[in-house]
């Protein structure tokens, strides 16, 4: 392999050569520069290959034919090779991106770009302190030049502020270097590291000055106004270089300095880093300018990497994997986002709505955001997993918490931005059409996915990009040009095939969940046949969610469980976001879900005790002092998905605003993921006590309250889909209650709810969706009398509410029966009463569904309404059939599960004799119940027909709207605010206290961000003062500690 | 001797920084930074000084064999040369910027360039 | 006022750090590790009488290459910044009073001498105090003198750039030759190191330093020329 010094020589030589070219020979100069950058990239790539294929031992490069420390030496190792490759590729791609600008500006600009790239590589390669300084100055000066490539006039002032700051940094760095030299007699970094003790005694102050100067080159929060101004005003291609190339190089320099500083200075790096990560992410919340927002995000990510550098003592040989994963993911994503921003005319976040109608660019946008947040299957995900496990294993919990909190803030503003781009009114400004620029962006996307693959291959936890379900979901990206019918069929076949393939490996519990999620999912997908066109974006998202669910069920270790959990979260987020008015709801879903996911991550990390390969079965071995905390974290995490009261505010909007066929997916199927998690948790850990409080008892209360509040809220809704959504909160409350009872029947009942809730909620969402589609409204009081026009929908709703309300003869009754048996065995009286009360409340809202929509007066505008489309009705009818069968022979599904649960709760198993089921308190014979109810129903119906045989038929519209005013029906319609008296009595319980609480949290965060960011006054001198203040404060804190 | 030079250097740095951080005029800021840079250079040279020795040039008065006992530390001298040149470069660049800034707003007051903030 | 107070306080803090450095500073009695090596090995390894030059051009040649690049970069950027949006033929509208007789004659007399001195300084960089940077700066002072005499004089940017680029390429080229022919990048022993104290000694150092001198002179001249071509505002 050619010596790495040629990277520098080629860069410099070409920069000098450009001066010899004629000024008007622009294309030639540009071509030569590109060739040089390509050559530099090639050399780096060659070294990456050598290092990865060989033993990875670093190669020393001598200069002047003299050994270090007497002459400057360079080093090329794996990290250096990867970083120089990153830098050179960023330079190359930015140069391609900047083609027009560079053509206009000529060879001076080209030379500056070459020197910038070369110098950033120099920072990475050199092992000499003063040489490091020289390269830093080169980068700073080149930055001063490249900032001016921008069309933005304000870039001039930004460049000057930058130079002012770099002058101050220079002073500190030089003083530090010379005194460090005095203390050790060498300028060689490794030589100094050997004499580390001497540096830290006699030269402690010198080291401090060097270290703080390099840290300042990382643009640490909050002494970084100068850098943010550059990020905002520079040409996006240059911001990409600044964020990807020069920040990475500076981080590597900080890493080298920490070799000298040793363990004493590691905590300082961590402190500065994590402060920046949280602070910059907080400030970013208040940003509306896209490039400045990205600048804040860069500062934050660099802070995170610095914090990781400070943890190198505990990361051992996984250090490069973790720090590198986060760093590279950030660099690629940030460069990509900056390049993408160059295609968009406006600078408001909302201006990114111009991307609508460009699915490939939206895919790029989504990929970059996922890279940045560290979602699977990208490198940051693997890195964060190992980092968090290691931190928890060592008990560095505060740091762990701050990292997760910062990451959540970051995800919050990034996904808010993504939602705005997708859902806001499409910006009229066109997206720049340059094919060069698009090619550059797409290569960043490819790099991101490629890195995801590599990190997966390097991870001991296995490569997610080789997981069949995930690959299947990704295939749909390639299938996008096909029509819905083809894609839908592929999806259904795929899901059923996967179910059959994995069938042998399920235990009975997993089988139930797999049947609901995969077969049930395939069934719900039938409804998707009714959509037309290509439905871009739907299938990859839906399949990602199903892939996550499929992997979740089969997960055996904590990592795959968590990866599956995040996959299904992302997929469902994209699905929910597709709804017409779902932007805010999708966001709150994402934030709650990620928050929950981070709690789960923290819980696993705490339980794992430093073992990244921790298996789920290991949860059972977690011992006393941590066990209840693990339990608590995991339980809360899972309850964000089941929307337990307090964590439920995302659900109504998300489920109600989703598309017709998406609502059943996210309600009937997705919610079960949370229940599955709770099952896994309770099976492994059982009950736990914290300070003498039985934690399952708390869950019991939460379940009961969720049931009560959910049902109550549902009763007061006017919007039919919202009603169903709130009812889900209540239903999940029942299931949670059952689980938390920690006895045989309780668990059986929870499983009953898994099946039942899936069937009737999917069915109801489909029929209500079909009705809303035909009538054009979801408000119940705008409907009425649809029974004759939509008879099949009516049957579905009727059966659905019978099943749901738990009256005989359908399966809901079975659920209730087990439930009542179960609570008779438990001794928690008060929550039991609550759960009893919520039963009748469910009647209230269910009654409205049938009464207001199908009975009463038909509205004039609905006279020509037709039955819902065939593909919506078909799955409903299948569900009806299922309900009937399940009502008749519940043993089909429950018997094996009952036996399975006996492993955990041997007492209280049911007796299964023939078709009769017996418990300690009585028996349940589904078939005889069905017969009895059938007979009663038939005789009543016959009697009704008999007494009404002489009734005269009247055309409904003869009686002129039956006293309703047709316009503004909500003022007079009897169905509007139907339960007003109950609301008067019980309304206090439906006060949106929880919503207000979370809104207040968000407000406080935003308001403080908005207030505090005024720190950045825009005055370059103030920035320099802040920089010095940062130095002094760090010094005081350091000496004070 | 070395102490005096070093202390002077540090004082120059502080004076320079004070000037750069309190003067609003951009040109004055640039001049103040050159003062601070000079201070840095002085400190660097002072660190390399050894009492009673001479410049690191081998000639009749400093024979090769006795060089190690006769000369001062040559490294800071080499470093300071680099530092000076880099300082010149940055100063020139800042001057060019000052010119353009003045051209854009007809003022040299640093607080007038606050279009970018927060 | 508050700003001044605050800055004063901060600088007091910084002064505290500096005071700490001064107090804990103890001058060396003997040369340290690196300096001793240079004192003992320069003559035989590098062959340069001026040890500082040996360090600058060879031992720490990469620094110097970077340093030259700083000037190159600055010159390029100053050109980029100042040529931005400049009106063609600017300055022609100005009428300046002619330079005095003294200045004019003095310039004619001095410029060749200054150029000669500059060349002398960088050619002898390995023997005497001085070298490429010093020599280059002296060269540029000749240009400054020319510009002072006649501010409207146009210096050929093409010539300057050509010198600058050629010198830079030669520097990099010699560095690469070091890898091919000797022990590494910028190794000066691609040419015989000769006898200590002679002009043709120290291997490639005189050549490198001469080109550095030319390059630095060209770069300073270029910056001066660009700055002098700006219009009065």
Cβ pair A183, B49 in contact under 8 A: no
Cβ pair A590, A411 in contact under 8 A: yes
Residue of C nearest to A114 (CA): C73
Q: Among B24, B75, B93, select the one facing A144 at the smallest CB separation.
A: B93
C77 touches chain A (CB under 8 A): yes
**pLDDT tens string A892-906:** 777 888 888 888 888
More confidently predicted of A564 and B2: A564
Chain B hits for C71, CB-CB cut-off 8 Å, are 85, 88-89
Q: What is the pLDDT of residue C30?
A: 87
Structural domains of chain C, count? 1
Q: What residues contact residue B80 under an 8 Å CB cut-off, 6+ apart?
A: B41, B44, B45
Q: What is the pLDDT of residue A954?
A: 65
Chain A hits for C67, CB-CB cut-off 8 Å, are 134
Domain boundaries, chain A: 608-942
Q: Of A116, A117, A111, which Cα lies nearest the Cα of A85?
A: A117
Query: What would the mean pLDDT of A32-48 be, rounded to a whole number?
Result: 95
Give the closest-approach CA distance of A1017 to chain B in angstroms: 6
C-beta atoms of C196 and B22 within 8 A = no
Q: What is the third-level CATH fold of B2-54+68-112? A: Helix Hairpins (1.10.287)
Cβ pair A17, A54 in contact under 8 A: no
Chains that touch A (3 or more CB pairs under 8 A): B, C
**pLDDT tens string A346-388:** 899 999 999 998 999 999 999 999 999 999 999 999 999 999 9
Q: In 10 A of CB A464, how many CB atoms?
A: 27
Q: In 10 A of CB A991, how many CB atoms?
A: 9
Chain A hits for C166, CB-CB cut-off 8 Å, are 20
Return the bridge partners of A917, or none.
A912, A924
Query: What would the mean pLDDT of A941-968 be, rounded to a whole number?
Result: 70
Cβ pair A157, A184 in contact under 8 A: no
Give the closest-approach CA distance of A551 to chain B in angstroms: 44
Whether C38 is covered by a domain: the verdict is no
Q: What is the pLDDT of residue C89?
A: 47
Q: Which of C38, C217, C229 to mutate to test the interface with B (most CBs of B within 10 A)?
A: C38
Chain B hits for A228, CB-CB cut-off 8 Å, are 116
**pLDDT tens string C143-153:** 999 988 888 77
Cβ pair B96, C82 in contact under 8 A: yes
The SS3 assignment for C150 reads coil
In three-state form (DSSP H/G/I as H, E/B as E, the rest C), the secondary structure along A190-207 is HHHHHCHHHHHHHCHHHH
Report the distance separating Cα A648 and Cα A633, nearest Å.
17
Long-range contacts of C168-171 (CB under 8 A, 24+ apart): C168/A12, C168/A13, C168/A15, C168/A16, C168/A19, C168/C68, C168/C69, C168/C72, C168/C215, C169/A13, C169/A16, C169/A17, C169/A20, C170/C207, C170/C211, C171/A16, C171/C65, C171/C68, C171/C208, C171/C211, C171/C212, C171/C215
State the Rg of chain A over Cα: 32
Report the distance separating Cα C64 and Cα A237, nearest Å.
30
- Strands A689-690 and A923-924, how do they pair? unpaired
Residue B94 is inside which H or E element, if any? helix B74-105
C-beta atoms of C74 and B93 within 8 A = yes
* Mean of pLDDT over chain A: 90
Which residues 41-80 on chain B approach chain C with CB closer than 8 angstroms?
47-51, 55-59, 64, 67-69, 71, 73-75, 77-79
Report the distance separating Cα A1020 and Cα A999, nearest Å.
36
Q: What share of chain B is helix, strand, coil (3-state, %, to 5)?
A: 70, 5, 20
Q: Among C18, C55, C81, select the one facing B75 at the smallest CB separation.
A: C55
Chain A hits for C38, CB-CB cut-off 8 Å, are 70
Residue A690 is inside which H or E element, if any? strand A689-690
Give the closest-approach CA distance of C64 to chain B in angstroms: 7
Q: Among A161, A178, A1028, select the one facing B79 at the smallest CB separation.
A: A178
Cβ pair A553, A517 in contact under 8 A: yes
More confidently predicted of C139 and A980: C139
B66-88 burial, b at 16+ Cβ within 10 Å, e below that, comes to ebeebbbbbbbbbbbbbbbbbbb
Residue A51 binned pLDDT confidence (cut-offs 50, 70, 90)? very high
C126 touches chain B (CB under 8 A): no
DSSP A610-644: T-TT-BGGGGGG--TTTHHHHHHHHHHHHHHHHT-
Chains that touch B (3 or more CB pairs under 8 A): A, C
The pLDDT of residue A811 is above 80: no
Q: Which of C17, C35, C54, C232 to mutate to test the interface with B (most CBs of B within 10 A)?
A: C35
Report the distance separating Cα A227 and Cα A165, nearest Å.
9
The pLDDT of residue A630 is above 90: yes
Q: In 10 A of CB A871, how many CB atoms?
A: 18
Domain boundaries, chain B: 2-54+68-112
The pLDDT of residue C225 is above 50: yes
User: Distances in Å between the alpha carbon of A531 and those of A196, A199, A486, A495, A870?
Assistant: 68, 71, 12, 20, 11
- For B73, which DSSP code? P
Q: Which of A774-788, A913-927, B79-93 has the lowest mean pLDDT?
A: A913-927
Q: What is the pLDDT of residue A596?
A: 95
Cβ pair C52, C133 in contact under 8 A: no
Cβ pair A518, A499 in contact under 8 A: yes
C-beta atoms of B6 and C27 within 8 A = no
Q: Among B56, B95, B102, select the one facing C52 at the smallest CB separation.
A: B56
Q: Find out whether the peptide bond into A169 is cis, omega within 30 degrees of 0.
A: no
Q: What is the pLDDT of residue A957?
A: 55
For chain C, the maximum distance between any two Cα atoms, rounded to a whole number of angstroms, is: 64
Residue A1041 binned pLDDT confidence (cut-offs 50, 70, 90)? low
Q: What is the pLDDT of residue A987?
A: 80
The pLDDT of residue C93 is above 80: no
Which residues 35-54 on chain C approach chain A with CB closer than 8 angstroms?
35, 37-38, 41, 45
Report the distance separating Cα B49 and Cα B73, nearest Å.
6
Which residues 89-108 on chain C approach chain B with CB closer than 8 angstroms?
none
Q: What residues contact residue A589 under an 8 Å CB cut-off, 6+ apart?
A: A572, A573, A576, A650, A651, A654
Give, to the nearest 10 degrees, the angle between helix A359-373 and helix A435-458.
Answer: 40
The pLDDT of residue A959 is above 70: no
Q: Of C199, C209, C188, C210, which Cα lies nearest the Cα of C44?
A: C188
C226 touches chain B (CB under 8 A): yes
Quote the percentage of chain A above a pLDDT of 70: 98
Report the distance separating Cα A609 and Cα A607, nearest Å.
6
**pLDDT tens string A656-685:** 999 999 999 999 999 999 999 999 999 998
A263-274 burial, b at 16+ Cβ within 10 Å, e below that, comes to eebbebbbbbbb
Q: What is the pLDDT of residue A955?
A: 63
Q: What is the pLDDT of residue A506?
A: 92
**pLDDT tens string A983-994:** 888 888 888 888
The SS3 assignment for C197 reads coil
**pLDDT tens string A868-922:** 999 999 999 999 998 888 888 877 777 888 888 888 888 877 888 777 888 877 8
The SS3 assignment for A693 reads strand
Q: In 10 A of CB A976, how many CB atoms?
A: 16
C63 touches chain B (CB under 8 A): yes
**pLDDT tens string A272-322:** 999 999 999 999 999 999 999 999 999 999 999 999 999 999 998 899 999
The pLDDT of residue C91 is above 60: no
Residue C218 is inside which H or E element, if any? helix C205-229
Whether C14 is covered by a domain: the verdict is no
The SS3 assignment for A426 reads coil
C-beta atoms of C55 and B64 within 8 A = no
For chain B, the maximum distance between any two Cα atoms, rounded to a whole number of angstroms, is: 64
DSSP A576-589: HHTSTT-HHHHHHH
Cβ pair A648, A705 in contact under 8 A: no
Chain B hits for C223, CB-CB cut-off 8 Å, are 92
Q: Which of C28, C77, C176 to mutate to test the interface with A (most CBs of A within 10 A)?
A: C77
C198 touches chain B (CB under 8 A): no
Q: What is the pLDDT of residue A600?
A: 96
Return the sign of the alpha-carbon dihedral for residues A579, A582, A587, A588.
negative
- For C29, which DSSP code? S
Report the range out of A129-133, A460-464, C34-38 with the highest average pLDDT: A129-133
Residue C104 is inside which H or E element, if any? helix C101-123
The SS3 assignment for A573 reads helix
List, in sequence order, every beta strand (DSSP E) within A298-434.
Answer: none
The pLDDT of residue A996 is above 80: yes
Q: What residues contact residue A112 under an 8 Å CB cut-off, 6+ apart?
A: A142, A145, A146, C73, C76, C77, C80
The pLDDT of residue A789 is above 50: yes
| Interface list for chain B against chain A, based on CB atoms closer than 8 Å | 13, 16-17, 20-22, 24, 26, 29, 33, 36-37, 39-40, 43-44, 47, 75-76, 79, 82-83, 86-87, 89-90, 93-94, 97-98, 100-101, 104, 110-111, 113-118
The pLDDT of residue C90 is above 50: no
User: Distances in Å between the alpha carbon of C112 and those of A405, A814, C108, C221?
Assistant: 69, 109, 8, 16
The pLDDT of residue A956 is above 60: no
Q: What is the pLDDT of residue C85?
A: 55
Left, alpha or beta for C86 (phi > 0: left; psi -120 to 50: alpha)?
beta
Q: Of A230, A171, A166, A211, which Cα lies nearest the Cα of A1024?
A: A166
Cβ pair A265, A211 in contact under 8 A: yes
- Strands A73-76 and A923-924, how do they pair? unpaired
Q: Of A234, A594, A243, which Cα lies nearest the Cα of A444?
A: A243
**pLDDT tens string C21-70:** 998 888 888 888 888 899 888 888 888 888 999 999 999 999 999 999 99
The pLDDT of residue A575 is above 80: yes
- Count chain A–chain C contacts defined by CB atoms under 8 A: 193
**pLDDT tens string B38-83:** 999 999 999 988 888 888 888 888 888 888 888 899 999 999 999 9
- For A63, which DSSP code? B
Q: Which of A19-23, A240-244, A724-728 has the lowest mean pLDDT?
A: A19-23
């Amino acid at each position: 392999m050619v010596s790495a010094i040629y990277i520098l020589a080629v860069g410099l030589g070409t920069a000098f050569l450009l001066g010899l070219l004629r000024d008007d020979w622009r294309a030639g100069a540009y071509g030569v520069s590109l060739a040089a950058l390509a050559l530099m990239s090639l050399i780096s790539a060659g070294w990456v290959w050598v290092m990865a294929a060989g033993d990875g031992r670093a190669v020393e490069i001598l200069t002047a034919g003299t050994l270090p420390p007497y002459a400057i030496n360079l080093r090329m190792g794996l990290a250096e090779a990867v970083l120089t490759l990153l830098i050179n590729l960023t330079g190359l791609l930015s140069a391609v991106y900047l083609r027009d600008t560079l053509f206009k500006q000529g060879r001076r600009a080209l030379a500056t770009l070459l020197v910038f790239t070369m110098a950033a590589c120099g920072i990475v390669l050199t092992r000499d302190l003063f040489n490091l300084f020289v390269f830093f100055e080169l980068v700073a000066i080149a930055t001063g030049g490249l900032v001016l490539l921008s069309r933005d006039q304000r870039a001039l002032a930004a460049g000057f502020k930058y130079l002012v700051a770099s002058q101050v940094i220079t002073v500190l760095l030089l003083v530090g270097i010379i005194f460090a030299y005095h203390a050790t007699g060498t300028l060689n970094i490794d030589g100094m590291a050997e004499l580390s003790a001497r540096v830290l005694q006699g030269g402690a102050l010198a080291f401090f000055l060097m270290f703080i100067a390099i840290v300042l080159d990382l643009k640490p929060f909050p002494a970084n106004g100068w850098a943010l101004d550059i990020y905002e005003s520079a040409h996006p291609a240059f911001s990409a270089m600044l964020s990807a190339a020069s920040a990475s190089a500076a981080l590597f320099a900080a890493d080298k300095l920490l070799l000298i500083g040793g363990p004493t200075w590691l905590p300082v790096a961590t402190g500065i880093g994590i402060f920046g990560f949280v602070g910059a992410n907080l400030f970013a919340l208040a940003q509306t300018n896209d490039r400045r927002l990205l600048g804040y995000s860069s500062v934050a990510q660099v802070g995170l990497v610095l914090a990781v550098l400070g943890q190198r003592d505990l990361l051992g040989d996984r250090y490069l994997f973790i720090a590198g994963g986060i760093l590279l993911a950030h660099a690629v994503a940030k460069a990509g986002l900056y390049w993408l921003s160059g295609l968009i005319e406006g600078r408001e976040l909302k201006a990114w709505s111009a991307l609508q109608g460009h699915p490939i660019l939206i895919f790029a946008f989504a990929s970059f955001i996922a890279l940045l947040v560290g979602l699977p299957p990208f490198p940051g995900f693997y890195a964060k997993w190992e980092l968090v496990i290691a931190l928890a294993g060592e008990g560095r919990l505060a740091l762990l918490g701050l990292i997760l909190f910062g990451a959540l803030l970051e995800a919050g503003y990034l996904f808010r931005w993504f939602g705005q781009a997708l859902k806001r009114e499409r910006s009229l400004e066109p997206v720049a059409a340059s094919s060069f620029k698009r090619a550059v962006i797409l290569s960043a996307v490819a790099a991101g996915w490629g890195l995801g693959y590599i990190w997966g291959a390097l991870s001991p936890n296995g490569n997610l990009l080789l997981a069949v379900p995930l690959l299947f979901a990704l295939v749909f990206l390639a299938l996008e040009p096909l029509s819905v019918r083809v894609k839908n069929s592929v999806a259904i076949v795929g899901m059923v095939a996967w179910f059959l393939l994995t069938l042998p490996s399920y235990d009975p519990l997993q089988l139930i969940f797999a049947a609901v999620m995969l077969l049930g999912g395939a069934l719900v997908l039938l409804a998707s046949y009714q959509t037309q066109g290509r439905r871009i974006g739907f299938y990859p998202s839906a399949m990602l969610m199903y892939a996550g669910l499929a992997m979740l069920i089969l997960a055996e270790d904590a990592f795959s469980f968590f990866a599956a959990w995040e996959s299904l979260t992302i997929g469902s987020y994209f699905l929910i976001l597709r709804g017409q008015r779902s932007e805010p709801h999708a966001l709150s879903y994402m934030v709650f879900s990620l928050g929950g996911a981070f709690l789960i991550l923290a819980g696993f990390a705490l339980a794992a005790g430093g073992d990244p390969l921790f298996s789920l079965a290991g949860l059972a071995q977690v011992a006393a002092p941590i066990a209840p905390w693990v339990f608590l974290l995991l339980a809360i995490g899972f309850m964000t998905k089941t929307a337990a009261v307090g964590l439920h505010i995302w659900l109504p909007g998300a489920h109600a605003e989703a598309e017709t066929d998406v609502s059943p997916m996210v309600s009937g199927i997705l919610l079960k993921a949370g229940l599955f998690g709770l099952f896994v948790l309770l099976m492994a850990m059982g009950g736990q006590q914290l300070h003498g409080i039985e934690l399952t008892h708390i869950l019991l209360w939460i379940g009961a309250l969720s049931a009560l509040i959910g049902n109550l809220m549902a009763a007061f809704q006017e919007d039919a889909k919202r009603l169903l959504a709130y009812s889900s909160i209540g239903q999940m409350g029942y299931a949670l209650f059952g689980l938390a009872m920690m006895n045989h029947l309780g668990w059986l009942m929870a499983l009953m709810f898994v099946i039942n809730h899936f069937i009737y909620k999917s069915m109801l969402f489909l029929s209500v969706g079909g009705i809303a589609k035909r009538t054009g409204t979801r408000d119940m009081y705008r409907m009425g009398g649809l029974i004759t026009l939509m008879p099949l929908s009516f049957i579905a709703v009727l059966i659905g509410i019978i099943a749901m309300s738990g009256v005989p003869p359908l399966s809901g009754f079975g659920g209730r029966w087990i439930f009542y048996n179960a609570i008779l065995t438990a001794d928690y009286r008060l929550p039991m009463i609550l759960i009893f009360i919520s039963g009748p409340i469910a009647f209230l809202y269910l009654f409205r569904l049938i009464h207001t929509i199908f009975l009463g007066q038909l509205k004039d505008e609905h006279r020509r309404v037709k039955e819902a489309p065939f593909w919506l009705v078909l799955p409903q009818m299948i569900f009806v059939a299922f309900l009937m069968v399940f009502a008749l022979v519940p043993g089909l599904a429950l018997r094996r599960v009952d036996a399975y649960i006996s492993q955990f709760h041997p007492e209280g198993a049911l007796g299964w004799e023939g078709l009769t089921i017996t418990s300690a308190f009585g028996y349940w014979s589904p078939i005889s119940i069905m017969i009895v109810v059938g007979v009663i129903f038939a005789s009543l119906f016959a009697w009704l027909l008999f007494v009404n045989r002489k009734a005269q038929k009247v055309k409904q519209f003869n009686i002129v709207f039956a006293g309703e005013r047709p316009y503004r029906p909500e003022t007079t319609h009897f169905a509007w605010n139907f339960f007003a008296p109950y609301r008067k009595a019980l309304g206090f319980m439906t006060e949106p206290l929880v919503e207000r609480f979370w809104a207040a949290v968000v407000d406080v965060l935003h308001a403080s961000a908005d207030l505090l960011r005024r720190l950045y006054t825009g005055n370059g001198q103030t920035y320099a003062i802040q920089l010095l203040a940062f130095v002094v404060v760090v010094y005081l804190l350091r000496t004070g500690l | 001797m070395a102490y005096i030079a070093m202390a002077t250097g540090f004082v120059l740095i502080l004076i320079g920084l004070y000037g750069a951080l309190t003067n609003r005029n951009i040109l004055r800021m640039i001049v103040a930074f050159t003062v601070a840079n000079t201070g840095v250079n002085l400190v660097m040279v002072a660190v390399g000084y050894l009492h009673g020795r001479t410049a690191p040039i081998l000639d009749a008065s400093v024979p090769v064999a006795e060089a190690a006992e006769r000369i001062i530390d040559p490294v800071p001298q080499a470093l300071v040369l680099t530092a000076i040149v880099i300082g010149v470069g940055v100063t020139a660049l800042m001057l060019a910027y000052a010119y353009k800034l003045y051209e854009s707003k007809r003022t040299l007051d640093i607080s007038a360039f606050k279009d970018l903030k927060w | 006022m508050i700003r001044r107070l605050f800055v004063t306080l901060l600088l007091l803090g910084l002064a505290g750090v500096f005071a700490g450095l001064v107090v804990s500073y103890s001058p060396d009695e003997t040369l340290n590790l690196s300096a001793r090596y240079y004192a003992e090995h320069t003559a035989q390894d590098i062959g340069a009488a001026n040890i500082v030059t040996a360090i600058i051009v060879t031992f720490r040649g990469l620094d110097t290459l970077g340093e030259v690049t700083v000037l190159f970069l600055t010159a390029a950027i100053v050109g980029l910044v100042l040529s931005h949006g400049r009106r063609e033929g600017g300055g022609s509208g100005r009428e300046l009073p002619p330079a005095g007789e003294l200045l004019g004659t003095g310039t004619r007399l001095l410029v060749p001498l200054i150029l000669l001195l500059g060349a002398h300084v960088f050619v002898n960089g390995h023997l005497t105090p001085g070298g490429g940077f010093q020599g280059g700066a002296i060269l540029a002072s000749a240009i400054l003198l020319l510009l002072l005499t006649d501010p409207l004089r146009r210096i050929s940017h093409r010539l300057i750039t050509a010198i600058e680029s050629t010198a830079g390429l030669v520097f990099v080229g010699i560095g690469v030759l070091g890898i091919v022919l000797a022990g590494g990048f910028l190794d000066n022993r691609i040419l015989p190191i000769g006898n200590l104290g002679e002009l043709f000694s120290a291997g490639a150092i005189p050549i490198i330093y001469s080109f550095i001198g030319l390059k630095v002179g060209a770069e300073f001249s270029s910056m001066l020329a660009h700055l002098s071509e700006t219009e009065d505002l």
